Amino acid sequence: MNNIWIRFAISFLALAGLAAAEEAPKMKKFLTKPLVIEDQGSFYIGGVPKVTAYAPEPTLNDPELTPNQIIIGQMYVQFQIPQTKKRGMPPVIMVHGS
């Protein structure tokens, strides 16, 4: 019987600790309001055309590509421009690791 009360007390204290931790307000350090995006998009930079026997057929909407031609060494870039910009602040540039 004594063992049941000990388990009950431990469970009660654990739940009380979780409830107290949940009630503590979390401070927002950086973003205090929603981020509104003005513009976003993507594009490719660089690249070298190469002819290979293993390339797929060119797409119908790109007449500049010849059959068996692929582009290698390019970088795919995605960008987002926020609606409010701070003067004098440098842009944030993120590069994938591979």
Name the more confident of 17 and 51. 51
Looking at 1-98, list the stretches that DSSP marks H as alpha helix, in order from N- to C-terminal side: 2-23
By three-state DSSP, how is residue 82 classified? strand
State yes or no: pLDDT of 98 exceeds 70.
Answer: no
pLDDT per residue over 37-77, tens digit each? 898 999 989 999 888 888 776 666 666 666 778 888 998 88
Are the CB atoms for 82 and 38 separated by under 8 Å? yes
